[in-house]
Structure 1
């Protein structure tokens, strides 16, 4: 069997099964993006209020996509994609959005999400061009990108007193 066919089959199967893909657009760091595999390409939605950012992904540009293993989290395959922005309400956009809508968790507007995406977001098709299973040496770990979603903040000043009070038994 042809190596190109095997590479494409690996890209498709790995991307279908992975919940996140790591996408690096032109001049931007790699970001984890949720996606859906539909009609031979990964589709992502973002760049709108409450949606994932899509920096460096421009129509006609290229992107590097890394797919991780769902069970172990290790890198399986890296592929190069051509980025196509789908025109809102076009036939391709409607087909992609119907798949994406089912995967969007905790959408604030429920069934109205396609209308909001048409108004405020971009839907991108990441079409595979080439793939590689040759992985670079080392971990390629990087410092996390700045985000307001942090878990460590200073504890409130009154918290130790409240916790100490909870431990005392009431004298009746």
Structure 2
């Protein structure tokens, strides 16, 4: 990887709060992360954290990471990654968790979150493992659009018949 490629991957990773990760299994999934020590660090797999199931991310495995542009929101760079699972309470785990803890929004147990992550979750590092597959000047022409994954959170139903009267009634 050239210095320019490395800089592009690192700057894009630092500025974007979300990355799209495609493991050996399943479709790509958006995950929040922090850029720390030359890699995208993320936490997940527990009941209160982002799901990692179905991606096939294993220690020593590979993944493909897509990062969007903070300015325009479109895909900026896609790079191959090597997955490293950090052992709980190790030196690298503690440093990564310190960064992740500061970015975890609305944690119900902020003071003891590191202990919960050590018990229930996985902390992963996605380290760049080669030159970017896509970058400015070498983007594909197709959109890469995909239908949303099925979820139980979908609540699309007909609106109640009386709701328009409540919303659009004239105030006196």
Bin for the TM-score computed over the shorter chain:
0.7 to 0.9
- After superposition, give the CA deviation of every residue in 1:13-70 in whole Å (9 maximum; x if it has no partner): 0110001001000122101110000001000100110211122211110000011001
* TM-score, scaled relative to structure 2: 0.88
Mapped partners of 1:74, 1:163: distance in 2 = 36
Q: CA RMSD in A?
A: 2.0
Mapped partners of 1:135, 1:26: distance in 2 = 22
Pairing 1:69-108 to 2, within 5 Å after superposition: 69-108=69-108
Residue 141, structure 1, aligned to residue 145, structure 2: yes
* TM-score, scaled relative to structure 1: 0.88
Q: Name the larger-Rg structure.
A: 1
Structure 1 regions of 5+ residues with no counterpart? none
1:120 aligns to what?
120
2:16 aligns to what?
18
- After superposition, give the CA deviation of every residue in 1:108-138 in whole Å (9 maximum; x if it has no partner): 1122111110000000000001223122221
Mapped partners of 1:165, 1:123: distance in 2 = 48
Aligned match of 1:47 in 45, 48, 53? Answer: 45
TM-aligned CA deviation for residue 150 of structure 1: 2.7
How many aligned positions are there? Answer: 165
Mapped partners of 1:87, 1:148: distance in 2 = 32
Structure 1 moving runs of 4+ over 4 Å: none
Mapped partners of 2:103, 2:152: distance in 1 = 24
Mapped partners of 1:35, 1:68: distance in 2 = 13
Distance 1:84 1:160, change over 3 A: same
TM-aligned CA deviation for residue 152 of structure 1: 2.3
